[in-house]
């Protein structure tokens, strides 16, 4: 399942001990002399309400498609980016950082304090500045080769110290959609005639990934889409940090919910139902950053995500791992197959019955 890869790649709370080399400033560029040679450019995010300045010799900020942040530097050796997301108070607990070894605590202009940490994992090194503020968290992140991250550590620290948090346009942070003439609010989903289809209290607070693992991902609704036969409903929820996707069987009895996809620190969106109402295509946007496609099968659902048959759409060369900044985009259902492209270029078709991908000439 997709969540397994996402957890491995994007977990922010399992920070490994640092090497001695990373804890000595004389191994890095002098931040004062280096910064003095650079003019600074400005990035502002109105959705989540933050702004910062960063070196002029970095890239012009590339805003993400979901407007949650931007790539500030993109090189073959590594990337630096800033992004924000929503969280609930339940996720803000000391247990999250109980096993972490903190490299440094930094104070922002508004007095908020965040954690600056580094993790070495094989040939890749990652550095994070992570700060909570209200119902949101903000993450300035560098990852790549050890030399790339080490070279930028001092400047990254200076950029982090200048992060200014303002009031975002998102308010409660709701990312609401109206699909198939449904009325979707954080707490309710109503049909076109005003009748209630689902209340947030009908949804389990935790999504069961398997028999042993579960996460909070259902404090409010984000999207809903009615199948063409109007017998099933696809729903996405969020717990702030994590997203979840559910298939809901509608009828005279109480709605029955089945978990079909989980996004660890990722955004799940409903794309479209197949014409026969058996499959629904979902996109999963991860912090990598990348956009992936999952297909849920309403005829094969279970009590956990692992029990449900949710297919991962992948090119053969991406079976083991999808590279960063690769975006899969669903386009349409055609003759029972999902047509999609990768990075807006070559088109492919995916057959959910055979799980085969074929190129479209």
Together in a domain, 36 and 112: yes
- The confidence score (pLDDT) of residue 304 equals 94
Together in a domain, 193 and 312: yes
Residue at 335 is within a domain: no
- R_g of the chain, CA atoms, integer Å: 21
- The confidence score (pLDDT) of residue 8 equals 34
- The confidence score (pLDDT) of residue 68 equals 79
State the maximum Cα–Cα separation within the chain, in Å, rounded to a whole number. Answer: 71
The CA distance from 65 to 130, in Å, is 22
Together in a domain, 109 and 38: yes
Together in a domain, 152 and 188: no
197, 182 Cβ separation under 8 angstroms: yes
Together in a domain, 161 and 239: no
- The confidence score (pLDDT) of residue 22 equals 37
Pairing type for strands 78-86 and 124-133 reads unpaired
Together in a domain, 196 and 307: yes
Residue at 307 is within a domain: yes
Together in a domain, 161 and 190: no
For the chain, how many structural domains are there in total?
2
- The confidence score (pLDDT) of residue 10 equals 35
Together in a domain, 187 and 144: no
The CA distance from 130 to 111, in Å, is 14
State the Cα angle at 31 between 25 and 34, rounded to 5°: 135
Which residues does 123 contact at the CB level (< 8 Å), separation at least 6?
Answer: 145, 146
The CATH number covering residue 72 comes to 3.40.1000.10
Q: Which range marks the domain in which residue 307 is found?
A: 183-326
The CB density around residue 120, as the number of other CB atoms within 10 Å, is 17
Which residues does 225 contact at the CB level (< 8 Å), separation at least 6?
Answer: 179, 180, 182, 233, 234, 270, 272, 273, 280
- The confidence score (pLDDT) of residue 322 equals 94
**Core vs surface per residue 287-297: b (16+ CB within 10 A) or e:** bbbbbbbbbbb
- The confidence score (pLDDT) of residue 25 equals 38
Over the chain (361 residues), the average pLDDT of each successive run of 10 is 39 36 36 49 84 89 74 92 69 40 76 83 82 82 90 92 72 34 88 85 90 88 89 90 92 86 92 91 92 96 93 94 92 90 92 94 82
């Amino acid at each position: 399942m997709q969540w397994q890869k996402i957890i491995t790649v994007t977990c922010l709370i399992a920070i490994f001990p640092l090497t001695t080399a990373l804890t000595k400033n004389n191994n890095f560029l002098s931040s004062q002399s280096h910064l003095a040679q650079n003019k600074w450019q400005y990035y502002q995010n109105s959705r989540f309400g933050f702004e910062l300045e960063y070196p002029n010799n970095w890239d012009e900020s590339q805003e993400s498609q979901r407007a949650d942040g931007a790539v500030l530097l993109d090189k073959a050796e590594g990337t630096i980016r800033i992004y924000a997301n929503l969280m609930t108070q339940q996720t803000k607990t000391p247990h999250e950082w109980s096993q972490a070894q903190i490299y440094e605590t930094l104070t922002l202009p508004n007095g908020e304090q965040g954690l600056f940490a580094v993790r070495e994992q094989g040939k890749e090194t990652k550095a994070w500045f992570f700060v909570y503020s209200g119902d949101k968290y903000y993450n300035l992140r560098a990852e790549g080769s050890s030399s790339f991250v080490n070279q930028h550590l001092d400047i990254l620290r200076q950029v982090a110290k200048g992060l200014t948090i303002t009031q975002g346009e998102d308010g409660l942070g709701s990312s609401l959609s109206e699909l198939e003439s449904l009325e979707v609010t954080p707490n309710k989903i109503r049909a076109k005639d005003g009748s209630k289809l689902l209340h947030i209290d009908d949804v389990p607070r935790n999504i069961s990934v398997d028999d042993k693992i579960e996460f909070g991902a259902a404090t409010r609704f984000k999207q809903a889409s009615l199948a063409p036969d109007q017998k099933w409903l696809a729903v996405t929820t969020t717990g702030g940090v994590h997203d979840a996707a559910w298939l809901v069987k509608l009828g005279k009895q109480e709605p029955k919910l089945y978990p079909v996809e989980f996004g660890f620190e990722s955004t799940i969106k409903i794309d479209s139902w197949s014409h026969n109402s058996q499959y629904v295509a979902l996109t999963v946007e991860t912090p990598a950053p990348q956009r992936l496609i999952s297909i849920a099968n309403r005829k094969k659902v279970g009590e956990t995500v692992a029990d449900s048959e949710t297919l991962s759409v992948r090119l053969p060369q991406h079976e083991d791992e999808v590279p960063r900044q690769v975006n899969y985009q669903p386009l349409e259902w055609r003759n029972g197959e999902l047509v999609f492209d990768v990075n807006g270029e070559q088109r492919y078709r995916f057959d959910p019955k055979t799980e085969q991908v074929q190129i479209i000439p």
